[in-house]
Structure 1
Amino acid sequence: MRNLQSKIITTSGAHSIDDEFDYESPFTREIQVVRFPANFKEPHMTPYEGNTDQKYHFDVFNDLKNLRGINSRARCQYFVVTLKGLAHKWFKRLRPGSIKSWQQFFDEFLQQHHAVRDYTMMGTSLTNVKQGEDESLKNYIHRFNMEAAKVGSLARGELKMAITAGVRLGSKLWDNMLKREVTDLDDFYERVQKYIRVEDGHKSLNARKSESSLKSSTHESLNNAKKKRAYEEPRDDHLGKAKRVDEHGHTQYTFYINLTHTREHIFIMNENYVPFRRPPPMKRDRLKRDLSTYCHYHKDIGHTTTTCNHLKVEIEELIRRGHLGKYVTKEKPGPEGRPTLTRPNE
């Protein structure tokens, strides 16, 4: 108990345990002369140095079981023992005899160290909020405001200093602030809104350009794919373009080889010697066909063998596969040495 009283005397400013009153102590005479009960046991708690949450320290102090039943003046004396470093220096700088009650001491303590806490939090959070290399100005302002809300109430000047310091070096807003100093927080936010509008405009323009470029690229890719397919489709080196399928699903050629005989003659003479494929069945209703015509290739009525498009294509393909070569015309080749070809309607 005597050790605790010695601590209190030392921290409050008295020169010896027998001193009744210290004129330099921030406490009044009524607080200084109070003594702790003989059976009082000194509690243990972490000292407060002025750079952590002062409200938390105060709550822990009030919750100490050993302080139950101790009057408010005695609490003032013991609370000083829990102060250390900057916090204790603050207490020693208080005006002599200015602390008259526990409530006043508590209010003075919170008011002083609230500013210390806010400055510390700003130093560890807001000043660390920087605009990223590829981060938009809008996103940076949003992040900063979220962090500022966690810190709590701060002077507008301190907020201006922190938020302007976080603007990315070399950005357009940074260049603007170099040319003309930011006067206050309102001035800063006015400039921010201007550059955010510019930023959003560029973003929208780039999005439209990207969409247009994508459409153009897709169109070009489709054209290239068509050209590639046309290039890669099988064709005879000297017989013109390869076959295609029209809108009705019929196979056709761009050009057909001129023949020495009619297709009906060629088919009838070679039906049993050349691998003709079976033609697809005629689709038109048999009752509506021309009964006076007959196709030897289809073995059915409806059109003649000579006008049968399926036979026309079949003979063309057989020739391109190396059959029926003797029926290819021996006419003088065209300008590039190719056989004479005819269009489908010839």
Structure 2
Amino acid sequence: MESPPFPKVKLPTIERFDETTDPDDHLSAYKHKMYVQAVDDATRCKNFPATLKGVAQKWFNNLPPDSVNNFTELSILFTSHFVANRQKQKTIMHLDKIIQGPKEALRSFVKRFNLEALQIQYLNAGVAFDAFIRGLRPESFKFELVKKKISTLTEALREVEAFIHATEVCAEAKHPEAKKIKETIQPKKSIPKKAETWAVTSMTTSSKRSKRAEPATSDEPIEFSKDQYSILLKIKDQYELKAPAEKTPYKNKDKRKYCHFHKDCGHETNECKHLKRGLEDLAHKGKMNSYLPQAGRKFQKRDNRQGRRKEDESTDEDVVLVISGGLAAGGPTNRDHKNYLRELAR
């Protein structure tokens, strides 16, 4: 402190330390400001008290005389005294927790990763690259990094920039007018659906004569003997059920509930309306009879050809069938047929 003053020294313009911030951050900022001016060690010690205030200023004033020989000793005393204000140092374990979300954009993931990496001291470049690769979703971008044999974080971030730029350029812009023009040029072809007849029959039918059943048009919900989740586990490999896309944004969905039909969060499997409709459609096709209550109704497919055959075979007793034409009507020619009619008229 008694050394001659250093010529032309400008006090560093940094926020004064008052015991409420991180001492390491304050010390690092002070070192950088003084390093620019290329001052000696004694000048660093002399100007350091000017960056303190409050409790920190009192601490410096209470230091015993001749207790500091250089700025390194002063730095150790400063950080040791205010160690309680140090921020928790992050390690590579914190970086391993940075994982790209199911619907998170690549730009957002890289931003979070870089922010976390900057808070880790002495971070190894190879370790950081491994954590970055593990955090990526297994999609096309990760495949491209492995295919190109990218081995450093710097190269990976360069590929990120190029991939984001290409994605934004090639993104399809939604133009309603262009869509209408396309539909006008290529109108949708209406494919007629195959007509199927399904009849509802009771389990205890004792009618003597088979009557033609009308197609079931009831919109009443069907009650199954098991819950939807149990039925889905049993039939998922037998029948193909396609889950429609959910319109609810991911941020508005209830993360505590999960639907095994949509394979997404937001609602429970047993509450899924789309799965309910799909199971009811299968029930109307006679494919869910084993999951219906025993005392309830069952569905079976109606064969129209057999129904017509039975109607043709069942004739009334008062009807007389007459064959007109051919050999029984006088002969195969028109003249023979006219002669036959004259015989009948007499």
Q: Is this a same-fold pair by TM over 0.5? A: no
| Structure 2 length-normalised TM | 0.31
| Structure 1 length-normalised TM | 0.31
- Which of the pair has more CA radius of gyration? 1
